[in-house]
Amino acid sequence: MKEIVIYGAGGFAREIAFFIEQINEKQPTWYIKGFVDDNSDNVGTYINGYPVIGTGQWLASLDEEISVVIGIGSSRVREAVVQRLARCLHIQYPNIIHPSVILSNTTKMGVGNVIGAGSVLTCNIKIGSFVTIHSHCTIGHDATIDDFATILPRAAIAGNVHLGRCVDFGTNATIIQGLSVGEYSVIGAGAVVVRNIPAYCTAVGVPAKPIKFQT
Kindly give the confidence (pLDDT) of every residue in the chain, 215 residues in length, as a single tens digit, with 9 standing for 90 and above: 999 999 999 999 999 999 999 999 999 999 999 999 999 999 999 999 999 999 999 999 998 999 999 999 999 999 999 999 999 999 999 999 999 999 999 999 999 999 999 999 999 999 999 999 999 999 999 999 999 999 999 999 999 999 999 999 999 999 999 999 999 999 999 999 999 999 999 999 999 999 999 86
Give 84-119 pLDDT, tens digit per residue: 999 999 999 999 999 999 999 999 999 999 999 999
136 a catalytic residue: no
Beta partners for 97? Answer: 115
73 is in an annotated binding site: yes
Per DSSP, the residues of 149-161 read -EE-TT-EE-TT-
Count CB neighbours of 80 within 10 A: 13
Model confidence, pTM = 0.95
* CB of 148 closer than 8 Å to CB of 166: yes
Catalytic residue among 90, 134, 141, 162: 141
Q: For 64-208, where are the E strands, in sequence order?
A: 66-70, 91-92, 96-97, 102-103, 108-109, 114-115, 120-121, 126-127, 132-133, 138-139, 144-145, 150-151, 156-157, 162-163, 168-169, 174-175, 180-181, 186-187, 192-193, 201-204
SS3 20: helix
Q: What pLDDT shows up at residue 159?
A: 98
* CB of 42 closer than 8 Å to CB of 52: yes
Q: What pLDDT shows up at residue 63?
A: 86
Q: What pLDDT shows up at residue 194?
A: 98
Dihedral of the alpha carbons of 101, 114, 134, 118, in degrees to the nearest 10: 10
CB-count exposure of residue 25 (10 Å: 0-12, 13-18, 19+): exposed
Kindly list the structural domains of the chain, giving each domain's residue range(s) and its CATH number in brackets, ordered by start: 2-92 (3.40.50.20), 96-207 (2.160.10.10)
Of 27, 148, 12, 21, the closest CA to residue 79 belongs to 148
Beta partners for 91? Answer: 66
